[in-house]
Amino acid sequence: MILDYIRWNVNPMLFQVGSVRVAWYGLLLTTGFLIAYLIFQKIAKTEKVNMMLIDRFSMFTILWTLVGLRLGHCLFYDWAYFKKHILEIFIPFVETAEGWEFTGFAGLASHGGTAAIILFVLYFSIKHKMSLIWLLDRLSIAIPVAAAFVRCGNLMNSEIIGTVTNMPWGFVFQRLEGTAECCAPRHPAQIYEALVYISLFAYQMWYYFKRTKGHIAGGRSVGTLLVVIFTARFFIEFVKENQVAFEENLSLNMGQFLSIPFVLLGIVFLWYSFYKKTYPVAIKTTANKHNEHK
């Protein structure tokens, strides 16, 4: 018997005890960040970097990533609303006619998170005299697994859905009943992105631990991440529903416009890695400066 599309009716809430609610999205987001942190910690231990410094860096990177994810959505996708509700940018509540309602932070944008990571890493590298390229490259090995978990969380929320399709793997998002998005089969765009990210994670792990054994050219990992993720984002956007109304009048949607500079930045990093061939270490010392160009 041929499956008549995939009927998706998962409850976004994993469980609730009294007023305490645990959602799939929050659990998957936390799990993704935890795995990424453990991978980054393993890399730092392999290269004998000060673990207290790495733990401080990891904690603030996660914090600023979340800030960037939130600000990216509010500024790029829904500023028309949030400029009139500034407080709601920073708190997990929405003001309704009946009062304040807890919603969690509904609205995160990966482009904002990426920009926040780059800016924070730049600041941290200057403050602690660490190599910017080293930090970006090692983070880029771990980040894709977190991104994959986030997209799985979007799937559990029945959000960031695809356009209508007649492909047999189309998803019917039954939780959207009563909206314009229900109930035709749609591209599972969340799964498309998650598959790209988890494949990139597997490649980055193999390339670092097996292919180069940690001796990786500066800019190679971060360049690969930026080009692969944001090229994929650019093309997957063609089978995704626009997230906000103003995108209907654009030749490309906001996600595509925001992806282009990150792809270009990734190309610059890849050019640097192939033509300059530096091999940076976490913290420069007199003893290891001469090893960077080997």
**pLDDT digit string, tens, across residues 238-260:** 999 877 666 677 778 888 888 99
List all residues 6 or more positions away from 294 whose beta carbon is below 8 Å from its beta carbon.
279
Domain spans of the chain, in order of start: 23-286
Q: Exposed, middle or buried, 133 (CB in 10 Å: 0-12/13-18/19+)?
A: buried
In the numeric block, which tokens belong to residue 193? 């992105």
| pLDDT exceeds cutoff 90 at 190 | yes
Q: From the CB of residue 21, how many other CB atoms can be counted at a distance below 10 Å? A: 14
pLDDT tens-digit profile of 93-124?
Answer: 666 667 666 666 666 677 788 888 889 999 99
Q: pTM for this structure?
A: 0.83
Give the pLDDT confidence score for residue 293 in this predicted structure: 54
Residue 92's pLDDT band (boundaries 50, 70, 90)? low
Mean pLDDT, all residues of the chain: 85
pLDDT, greater one: 287 or 45:
45
Preceding omega of 182 cis (within 30 degrees of 0): no
Q: What percent of the chain has pLDDT over 70?
A: 84
